[in-house]
Amino acid sequence: MQETYKAEEIFKQFKEHSISEFFRRNSQMLGYSGRIRSLTTVVHEFSTNALDASEEAGILPEISVVLKELGEDKYSVEVSDNGPGIPQRIVGKALATILAGTKFHRYLQQRGQQGIGAAGCTLFSKITTGKFIHVRSSTEKESYECDITIDIKSNKPVVENLVKREGLQRGTSIQGEFANVKYERGEHGVYGYLKRTALSNPHAGITLREPDGNEVIFTRSSNELPKRPKEIKPHPLGIGVNDLVELAQRSDSRKVSSFLVETLSRVTPSKIAELRNITGNDIMEQDPKSLVWADAENLVKAFRAVKWIAPELDSLSTIGEKQIDVAIRSILNPKFLSVVERRPRVFRGGIPFVVEAGLAYGGMAGKEKKGEGGQRYAEGNVLRFANKVPLLFDGSNCAISEAANSIDWKRYGISNFEEEPVSVFVNLSSVYVPYAGVGKQAIAQEEELVDEIKLALMDCGRILQRYISGVKALASKETKYKTIMRYVGQLAADLGEITGKSSKQIEASLRILVESKYKVMEESGEGPAESEAENVAENGSDAEI
């Protein structure tokens, strides 16, 4: 007979765990899976924090990343910046408390969103080496250094060896030791990540010192800071029932009507009147703290029945067409480049977003490969970004990859995307990026996002197609020119014998005639052809070739 157990016995082992303990057991959810990816994740988290802080303080970022190999699969990572620094009173919470920070609760475009990144690095250092991370920071009021780790059971910071310092350079430096990591100079390693960061952040100066001592400098290509995003209120069409109940519980307003005006964007007295007609006065006149689920549900339904002005766009900060053009030309040096910034759109009813796209062809564009004899060749690759942050992993689950893969590239002159020197650049800017996982390496395949990214790439593709068509037409023209010129000498000699005239004069006249017809130079080379092809791309396919 099967043995049975009482509820008290079954739940005897019931325990409450902290969020830190959960991520200790599931570190792969934070991006710590695989040695190369884990090291890249550490650099990613610290450098994005540095970029956000510097920009918010109005400072052109200077970021230094120093890697040292300490043993097999063990490295020291130091990331320094020239930002505003971290006040000493909150440094522990900022770097060693999961889900604490300045980003999660704000309706504002920032690279980080969840308050996990830096604390996740501190946690990863502890569980792989048992070491503290060392912090040096200087604000306008204080300078200090200390050692920090995380108490996993309580999700609380542990700060030791705090020392006040004088004369520290303004900014923050974070150094930690990490095991189960590996440095590799590839597309998915630290080098590839920082190279792409330089592409999407042309206003940042970035220096990488590799484990072998080699120094790589990604020079700032623009001295113009991006537009500083403005914190805005949530839009009524982006609010769910649970969101509305929680906001109401925190409100100090006396009535639901005034709560809606003060808390949500685009809610005016005239809109309140429309909502009253749908919901009645009972809801509008009650205390927000007494709002129950059914009332909130009715309000959300009413929101969807009213016509609203689109969300404010001050919360968005794009890279900008000009800056993308400068950055891609500086780093990839393509033969041709088209860049498009789409108009702002909304998804899930009320969350604003903007898609920027670029298509680079030739030069150093494409994913570098080496063939036989060490010869370099390229294949198409997709450079994915969210709020200017490179997304290197989980590409198959990403909205950007889905959009790029759904395009018939042959229509735009690219016969085989996998075998041509072409780079697709896409950046999605939004106050809320719907990542497919906690590791923030792929954008969820929301239909509105995929469609808008696809439209942006098609805009770029049409410009590229005109350029490629122009190049092919000019190449055909040059081939005909060379073929005819090959027989000019013989034709001149034969005509000279028939007419009795000088064969040299006839040849000179024939050369002038042929050159006036084809308007190309006899020498092979891409200069004149490319200039004319770019003119075709800019002025349209009907331009005379």
Condensed to tens digits (0 to 9), the pLDDT of residues 210-256 reads: 999 999 999 998 898 887 777 778 888 888 898 899 889 989 999 99
Quick: pLDDT tens for 108-146.
566 654 446 788 889 889 889 999 999 999 998 999 999
Tokens of 109: 């475009």
Cα–Cα distances (Å) from 275 to 236, 263, 300, 349, in that order, read 12, 15, 10, 17
Closest alpha carbon to 506 in 487, 489, 523, 519: 489
Residue 211, Cα to own-chain centre: how many angstroms?
A: 26
Range with lowest mean pLDDT among 44-48, 205-209, 501-505? 501-505
Alpha-carbon span 463 to 145, nearest angstrom: 53
Query: Exposure of 3 by Cβ count < 10 A (0-12 exposed, 13-18 middle, 19+ buried)?
Result: exposed
The dihedral built from the CA positions of residue 300, 306, 307 and 311, taken in this order, carries a sign that is: negative
Closest alpha carbon to 204 in 77, 389, 68, 332: 389
**Section 371-383 average pLDDT:** 65
Residues 316 and 354: beta-carbon distance below 8 Å: yes
- DSSP string for 343-387: PPEEETTTEEEEEEEEEEESTT-SEEEE-GGG-EEEE-EEEEEET
Alpha-carbon span 231 to 259, nearest angstrom: 18
Tokens of 436: 């497919």
Is pLDDT at 162 greater than 70 in this prediction? yes
Quick: pLDDT tens for 62-118.
999 999 999 999 999 999 999 999 999 989 988 888 655 444 445 556 665 444 678
Residues 159 and 55: beta-carbon distance below 8 Å: no
Cα–Cα distances (Å) from 260 to 156, 243, 269, in that order, read 36, 12, 10
Residue 125, Cα to own-chain centre: how many angstroms?
A: 26
Range with lowest mean pLDDT among 104-108, 257-261, 385-389, 474-478? 104-108
Alpha-carbon span 31 to 439, nearest angstrom: 5
Closest alpha carbon to 237 in 296, 313, 301: 301
At 188, which amino acid appears? H
Name residues whose C-beta falls within 8 Å of residue 256's C-beta, 6 or more positions apart in sequence. Answer: 248, 283, 284, 285, 286, 287, 288, 291, 295, 299
The dihedral built from the CA positions of residue 82, 88, 90 and 91, taken in this order, carries a sign that is: positive
Closest alpha carbon to 356 in 394, 328, 397, 335: 328
Query: Exposure of 375 by Cβ count < 10 A (0-12 exposed, 13-18 middle, 19+ buried)?
Result: exposed
Q: Higher pLDDT residue, 391 or 280?
A: 391
- Count of CA atoms in the C-beta half-sphere (13 A) of 27: 22
**Owner of token pair 């964007």:** 265
**Section 426-436 average pLDDT:** 90
CB atoms within 10 A of CB 235: 25
Check residue 234 and give its pLDDT.
83
Quick: pLDDT tens for 171-208.
999 999 999 999 998 888 999 999 999 989 999 999 99
Average pLDDT of the chain is 82
**Owner of token pair 């909205």:** 399
Q: Residues 392-403, buried b or exposed e (16+ Cβ, 10 A)?
A: bbbbebbbbbbb
pLDDT band at 282 (very low <50, low <70, confident <90, very high): confident
At 34, which amino acid appears? G
pLDDT band at 533 (very low <50, low <70, confident <90, very high): very low
Name residues whose C-beta falls within 8 Å of residue 101's C-beta, 6 or more positions apart in sequence. Answer: 93, 94, 112, 115, 118
Check residue 528 and give its pLDDT.
41
Q: Higher pLDDT residue, 257 or 26?
A: 257
Q: Higher pLDDT residue, 106 or 402?
A: 402
- Domains of the chain, first to last: 19-218 (3.30.565.10), 236-305 (1.10.8), 321-462 (3.30.230.10), 467-539 (no CATH)
Tokens of 162: 């705090």
Check residue 4 and give its pLDDT.
62
Cα–Cα distances (Å) from 542 to 170, 410, 534, in that order, read 57, 20, 13
Q: Higher pLDDT residue, 459 or 485?
A: 459
Tokens of 517: 């017809």
Alpha-carbon span 466 to 527, nearest angstrom: 17
